[in-house]
Amino acid sequence: MSRTKIGVLISGRGSNLQALIAACANPDFPAEIALVVSNKPDAGGLEYAAEAGIETTVIEHDGYHDRESFDREIDVTLKAAEIELVCLAGFMRLLSGWFVETWRDRVLNIHPSLLPAFKGIDAHDQAIAAGVRISGCTVHIVRPEMDTGPVLVQAAVPVMPDDNKTSLAARILEAEHRCYPHAVRLLAEGRIEIVGERAVLNTDTTAPSALIHPATDG
């Protein structure tokens, strides 16, 4: 079985990266992490990658005069590693329209809310402030606008009356760690078709993937 090559982009702690590393350790999992890229040299996730023997690269955005030139460096790095699928795992930078279109339908993101509710960096605070009883997490295909794009997997998580940001984030994070590997599996097995802006599950597991193929220029 040839496994889909994933590049994981991180900025910090890297617990979702850890969940993906654990999933990929199963020889039956249809994807492998070939590269981890961080835009922060002190991202904790870099250590998890190194421990797992995964190649890591730091590309600091400060060194680039605009968003697209930083993204072009990431693009070149991913292509050099023959990456087929990009997973944003706590990567706290908006990617340019150029990058998202170059890698169209091959960039995933995880967000700690039931999108389209509570986009942005303070999703847990937004959920608590709105008084919702249920929040959760979403794995979606990335489009240029922040936290938008076809939804692949979601999990609902209760919001308790005495929750604060920390307690809610911890409960949602457990669900994130289950959802991200599941979404990667669906894509790597070629079971997702994008119809309009919806990700539709294809039940024919023998169908070749319409989505996973190396990015090309332009």
Contact 211, 180 (CB under 8 A): no
Strand partners for 35 = 7
Residue closer to ligand GAR (CB basis): 16 or 39: 16
Residue nearest to ligand GAR (CB): 90
Collect all residues with Cβ–Cβ distance below 8 Å to 189 and sequence separation of at least 6.
30, 205, 209
| Shortest Cβ 45–ligand GAR spacing (Å) | 6
Residue closer to ligand GAR (CB basis): 102 or 135: 135
How many Cβ atoms from other residues are within 10 Å of residue 202's Cβ? 15
| Shortest Cβ 208–ligand GAR spacing (Å) | 30
| Shortest Cβ 46–ligand GAR spacing (Å) | 11
H-run or E-run covering 127: helix 123-130
| Shortest Cβ 111–ligand GAR spacing (Å) | 5
Residue closer to ligand GAR (CB basis): 75 or 176: 176
Estimate to the nearest angstrom the gap between the alpha carbon of 204 and the chain centroid.
25
Q: Is 134 exposed, middle or buried (0-12, 13-18, 19+ CB in 10 A)?
A: exposed
Residue closer to ligand GAR (CB basis): 30 or 112: 112
In 3D, which of 141, 44, 39 has the Cα closest to residue 85? 141
Identify whether 213 is a catalytic site residue.
Answer: no
Question: Residue numbers of the site for ligand GAR (CB under 6 A)?
Answer: 12-16, 89-90, 110-112, 121, 123, 147, 173, 176
Phi, then psi, of 111 in degrees rounded to 5: -135, 140
- Cα–Cα distance for residue pair 179/75, rounded to 1 Å: 26
- Given the residues 65, 111, 124, 213, the one annotated as active site: 111
| Shortest Cβ 105–ligand GAR spacing (Å) | 19
Residue closer to ligand GAR (CB basis): 15 or 154: 15
Residues designated catalytic? 111
